[in-house]
Amino acid sequence: MIGLTDASLSFGALRLFEGLTLGVPQGRTTAILGPNGRGKTTLLRAMLGFQALDRGHRHAPAIIGYVPQHGASQAKLSGLEVVIMGRAARLGLFGQPGPEDVTAAHGALAQVGAENLAELRYDRMSGGQRQMILIARALATGSRVLVLDEPTSALDLGNQSRTLSLIASLGRIRDRAILFSTHDPNHALAVADYVVLMMPGGAVLQGPVDRMITPGLMAELYGVPMQWVRPADPSGRSAMLPAFTGKEAA
């Protein structure tokens, strides 16, 4: 369980949230949804404890698996070494990772299906490969709380899809609490049970995914008309897209 109780945070005149109570219980995947610059990352940082609150309380386990947006960007280390760093919280100040940490790191790599990246140098990997390593590192912490900051935003379509499938599968096992931020409602639709909307003006709405992702709320969230696009094949997935008039209108 990770969450905030009655939390407020503002920077000068900019109010990010006020009196916000938000909890991510075990076994639930929650998406924080909003356009760029509305404070998704800051809310995550507050939940992780990196950003002090003006008011309110934070509750979280001592060790959290965290996937930053641009992690370890300069590490000229192997993929395995970067994953082993996830064990750091279990080592003392003078501790060195031992064989059990290496085993745990290999296990985490296997969970994300990236054993083949163990020996590759991290700073030479593609964005999608790095993402898998960083998720494996978060799993290597052994924490049952996983927080991902914009896990899909820097990836191409194929890697977005792979990352989302991975998040969905990770959420189904070990009763994990997963919290991630995204600016794409379809990514929330794909994997989240619960959605937090960062509305204009500092209001924060939250609820189950089917009640929050509606054309009305999405239009308000993004400031453009939105609509459902339903597939002709009823087994396909519906998408929430901007209702702009494209080339068909002409």
Which residues make up the interface to other proteins (CB under 8 A)?
45, 48, 50, 62-64, 66, 68, 70-81, 84-86, 88-91, 93-99, 102, 105, 118-122, 141
Q: In angstroms, what is the minimal distance from the CB of 108 to other proteins?
A: 12
Q: Which is nearer to other proteins, 85 or 204 (CB)?
A: 85
> For residue 187, what are the contacts with CB-CB under 8 A and spacing of at least 6?
31, 152, 160, 164
Nearer to other proteins, 57 or 124 (CB): 124
DSSP labels, 180-195: EEES-HHHHHHH-SEE
E strands in the chain: 2-11, 14-24, 29-33, 55-59, 65-67, 145-148, 177-182, 194-198, 204-208, 226-229, 239-242
Least distance to other proteins, CB of residue 1, Å = 17
What's the DSSP call for residue 113?
T
Between 106 and 206, whose beta carbon lies closer to other proteins? 106
Minimum distance of other proteins from residue 167's CB (angstroms): 18
Helix (H, G, I), strand (E, B) or coil at 46: helix
Nearest distance from residue 28's CB to other proteins, in Å? 21
Q: Name the token pair of 183.
A: 């600016």
**Rounded least distance, CB 129 to other proteins, Å:** 13
Report the largest interatomic distance among the alpha carbons of the chain, rounded to a whole angstrom. Answer: 68
Q: Which residues pair with 31 in a beta bridge?
A: 180, 195
For the bound state, the minimum distance from the C-beta of residue 183 to other proteins, rounded and expressed in Å, comes to: 20
Comparing CB distances to other proteins, the nearer of 125 and 205 is: 125
**Nearer of residues 48 and 195 to other proteins, judged by Cβ:** 48
CA distances in angstroms from 2 to 64, 140, 180, 206, 207, listed in the order given: 9, 18, 12, 15, 16
Cβ distance to other proteins smaller for residue 73 or 245: 73
